[in-house]
C-alpha cells in the first residue's frame, strides 16, 4: 500500500534517529515501528504504566488508577471519572 502521512516533528526526529542508528531506510523503520506497536502481545501499556507510576511517585491504592491512565495514554484515549486522583497524571485527558 502506498499512502501519505503527515508526521509530527517529534515523530520525524524519532524516525531520523532510528534510521541513522540502524542504517535502515525510512520505509523499514516506519514498517517495523508500526508492526511493533500493533502486534499482539506488545508491552507498551506496561511501559506506559511504569512511566506513569514513576512520574508521580505513587503506589498502593492508586495503582489501578495508574493502569487505567496508562491504557488511555497508550491508546490515545481519555478517562472520564469523578475520581480526582486522575488529575495526578499530567498527560491524561
Q: How far is it, in rounded angstroms, from Cα 12 to Cα 24?
A: 15
Least confident of 8-17, 57-66, 76-85: 57-66
What is residue 16's predicted lDDT score, i.e. its pLDDT?
Answer: 92
**Tens digits of per-residue pLDDT, 20-68?**
988 889 988 888 888 777 766 655 555 666 666 666 666 666 777 777 8
Segments making up each domain of the chain, as ranges: 9-38, 44-88
Whole-model pTM: value is: 0.43
What is residue 43's predicted lDDT score, i.e. its pLDDT?
Answer: 55
Amino acid at each position: 500500500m502506498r499512502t501519505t502521512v503527515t508526521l509530527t516533528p517529534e515523530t520525524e526526529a524519532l524516525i531520523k534517529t532510528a534510521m541513522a542508528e540502524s542504517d535502515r531506510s525510512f520505509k523499514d523503520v516506519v514498517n517495523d515501528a508500526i508492526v511493533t506497536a500493533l502486534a499482539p502481545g506488545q508491552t507498551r501499556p506496561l511501559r506506559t504504566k511504569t512511566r506513569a507510576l514513576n512520574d508521580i511517585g505513587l503506589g498502593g491504592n492508586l495503582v489501578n488508577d495508574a493502569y487505567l491512565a496508562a491504557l488511555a495514554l497508550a491508546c490515545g484515549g481519555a478517562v472520564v471519572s469523578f475520581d480526582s486522583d486522575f488529575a495526578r497524571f499530567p498527560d491524561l485527558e
